[in-house]
Structure 1
Amino acid sequence: MEFTKRQREIIEIVKNEQPISGNKIAQHLNLTRPTLRNDLSILTMTGMLDAKPKVGYFYSGQHANPLTFETLYEVPVATVMLTPVLIKPTTTLQDAVTTLFMYDIGSLYVADDEQQLLGVISRKDLLRATLNTQDLTQIFASMIMTRMPNITTITAEDRILDAGYLLMSHQVDSLPVLAERSKKVVGKVTKTKIMQYFVEVGMKIEHEKYD
């Protein structure tokens, strides 16, 4: 994998001033911290940098094999996406709770008849609503869901690396996968599924290395 000019500059800054925080790296480049998130994520995932909470970034120099990087991070989300569980905005809170536990999932996607995403309901949303409601048949999904466009989504063509970064930065357990240039829900990607993929591919690479 070829690093960008900015990524090479970040490596040199960390080499010279390690440990160094993301904010100080941004100051060196006259950029904002959010602007560097993707670059820092790539550099740590490829092994060039190491990061320790409340300490900062270190140079490790362990550049991952390009094939390994491409296999692990640059494959499309379609490779790991799962079938979403959809409910309608008129679904009652009682039925939503039943559906959540029946499928043993962390969130429900609220969609219209054309599978256009309208909102998301998490376990926390349902727990909060049930604690404040006595009659679960009188509260509907549309009343407690997080609505579009306040939902982080991704497409099937995006990279697994991008999905992992969004899951981490937004601190959510899953992302709705939408059709390209559309709000139609075609799948979902979860932290658990991405971790499973990384482990399975990593074990395969390790096996082939010593086979």
Structure 2
Amino acid sequence: MELSTRQKKIIEIVRRDEPISGDNIAKQLGLTKPTLRNDLSLLTMTGILDARPKVGYIYSGQTIEPLLFEELFHQKVAEIMVPPVFIKQTTSISDAITDLFMHDTGSLYVIHEVTGEFVGLLSRKDLLRASINNQNITGTPVAMIMTRMPNIVTITPDERIIDAGYLIVHQEVDSLPVVESANSTKVIGKVSKSKLLTHFISSGYEVEKNKEK
């Protein structure tokens, strides 16, 4: 894997000033933090840098083989996304819990009962918290407890798997809704932590196996 000039500069800054925040890295380069998002995600996902919450970036010095990197990270989200489980916003909390376990999923995507528009998301934690704190889960709709748009991080199918991994880690979410296009509310799939882990393990194993041949 050939690093860009900017990525090499980032590594130099981190090695010199670690631990250092993304904001301070961007400041030294005269750029904004969002501009460096892909560079920082690449360097952390490959193990060259390590991102520690409330501490900053540190240099780990690990490297990854180019073939393995291409296999793991440069594929598109569309290649690993899975169908989401949809429920209506009028669905009761108790029925949502049943749907969650029947489909063995970690999240439910909530749509408007008339327009079919994606309006919210429910995680296992949301439903567990609601079942403990709410005495009337059979009569309370999920619209009362769901995380609503636009407060949900989404991704498009043509973005890279490395970008999905970055968002899941840094936004501390269990899954990302895959929307048809930027600013769209039409969900066509999802990417979860477990799906990413399965992809990384199976792809890495295949690369290692081919090296032995």
- TM-score over 0.5 for the alignment? yes
TM bin, normalised by shorter chain, reads 0.7 to 0.9
Aligned to 1:145: 146
Is the contact made by 1:14 and 1:58 (CA closer than 8 Å) also made in structure 2? Answer: yes
Which whole-Å deviations, capped at 9, do the CAs of 1:67-124 have from their partners, x for residues lacking one? 3322211111111111100000111111011111222222110013554211001122
SS in 2 for 1:131: helix
Normalising by structure 1, what TM-score? 0.86
- Unpaired runs of 5+ residues, structure 2, are none
SS in 2 for 1:176: strand
SS in 1 for 2:189: strand
Distance between the aligned counterparts of 1:34 and 1:159, measured in 2? 16
Aligned to 1:85: 85
Which whole-Å deviations, capped at 9, do the CAs of 1:34-63 have from their partners, x for residues lacking one? 55343222123335x23274484226273x
Distance between the aligned counterparts of 1:99 and 1:6, measured in 2? 47
Distance between the aligned counterparts of 1:127 and 1:104, measured in 2? 15
Aligned to 1:51: 50
Aligned to 1:191: 193
Distance between the aligned counterparts of 1:44 and 1:131, measured in 2? 37
CA 1:190 to 1:28, structure 2 compared with 1: closer, same or farther past 3 Å? Answer: same
Aligned to 2:73: 73
SS in 1 for 2:163: helix
Aligned to 2:94: 94
Distance between the aligned counterparts of 1:121 and 1:14, measured in 2? 37
Aligned to 1:4: 4
CA 1:77 to 1:55, structure 2 compared with 1: closer, same or farther past 3 Å? Answer: closer
Is the contact made by 2:41 and 2:163 (CA closer than 8 Å) also made in structure 1? Answer: no
CA 1:45 to 1:105, structure 2 compared with 1: closer, same or farther past 3 Å? Answer: same
Structure 2: which amino acid aligns with 1:9? K
Is the contact made by 1:109 and 1:121 (CA closer than 8 Å) also made in structure 2? Answer: yes
Root-mean-square deviation (CA, aligned residues, Å) is: 2.3
Distance between the aligned counterparts of 1:55 and 1:144, measured in 2? 33
Which whole-Å deviations, capped at 9, do the CAs of 1:6-37 have from their partners, x for residues lacking one? 2122133345x164423553442244555534
CA 1:121 to 1:10, structure 2 compared with 1: closer, same or farther past 3 Å? Answer: same
SS in 2 for 1:186: strand
- Unpaired runs of 5+ residues, structure 1, are none
Is the contact made by 1:14 and 1:59 (CA closer than 8 Å) also made in structure 2? Answer: no
Normalising by structure 2, what TM-score? 0.86
Measured after TM superposition, the shift of residue 126 of structure 1 is 1.3
Residue pairs, 1:125-140, within 5 angstroms: 125-140=126-141
Residue pairs, 1:170-209, within 5 angstroms: 170-181=171-182, 182-209=184-211
SS in 2 for 1:169: helix
Greater shift, 196-205 or 64-73, is seen at: 64-73
**Which portions of structure 1, spanning 4 or more consecutive aligned residues, are displaced by more than 4 angstroms?**
31-35
Distance between the aligned counterparts of 2:154 and 2:69, measured in 1? 24
Is the contact made by 1:114 and 1:184 (CA closer than 8 Å) also made in structure 2? Answer: no
SS in 2 for 1:155: coil
Distance between the aligned counterparts of 2:136 and 2:207, measured in 1? 53
Q: Percent identity?
A: 49
